[in-house]
Amino acid sequence: MNPKTVDRRRKPSGAKTDAIDAYLLAKTGRSDLADLRRLAPDSPPVQELKALTRDQDGLIQSQTRLVNQLTACLKAYYPVALDLFTKLQQPLTLAFLQAYPTLEEAQRASVDDLTILLRQHRHPTAVSTAHALWERLHHPQLQADAVTTRTKSRLLLALVSQLAPLLEQIKQYDEEISRLVLNHPDRVIFASLPRAGTRLAPRLLAGWGDDRERYRSAASVQALAGTSPLA
* C-alpha span between 108 and 84 (Å, rounded): 16
Domains, the chain, in order of start with CATH, read 1-39 (no CATH), 43-209 (1.10.287)
Taking 70 as the pLDDT cut, the residues of the chain under it are: 1-2, 230-231
pLDDT of residue 2: 67
| Residue 146 φ/ψ region, left for φ over 0, alpha for ψ in the -120 to 50 degree band, beta for the rest | alpha
* C-alpha span between 159 and 169 (Å, rounded): 16
What pTM was computed for the model? 0.78
Residue from 101, 93, 90, 100 nearest 63 by CA: 90
pLDDT tens digits, 117-136: 999 999 999 999 999 999 99
Residue from 158, 201, 145 nearest 178 by CA: 201
| Residue 96 φ/ψ region, left for φ over 0, alpha for ψ in the -120 to 50 degree band, beta for the rest | alpha
pLDDT of residue 230: 64
pLDDT tens digits, 36-47: 777 778 889 999
Using DSSP's 3-state secondary structure scheme, residue 215 falls into coil
Residue from 29, 42, 43, 22 nearest 1 by CA: 29
pLDDT tens digits, 80-129: 999 999 899 999 999 999 999 999 999 999 999 999 999 999 999 999 99
Burial class (CB in 10 A: 0-12, 13-18, 19+), 172: exposed
- The secondary element (H helix, E strand) that includes residue 154 is helix 146-182
* C-alpha span between 184 and 195 (Å, rounded): 20
DSSP state letter for 15: -
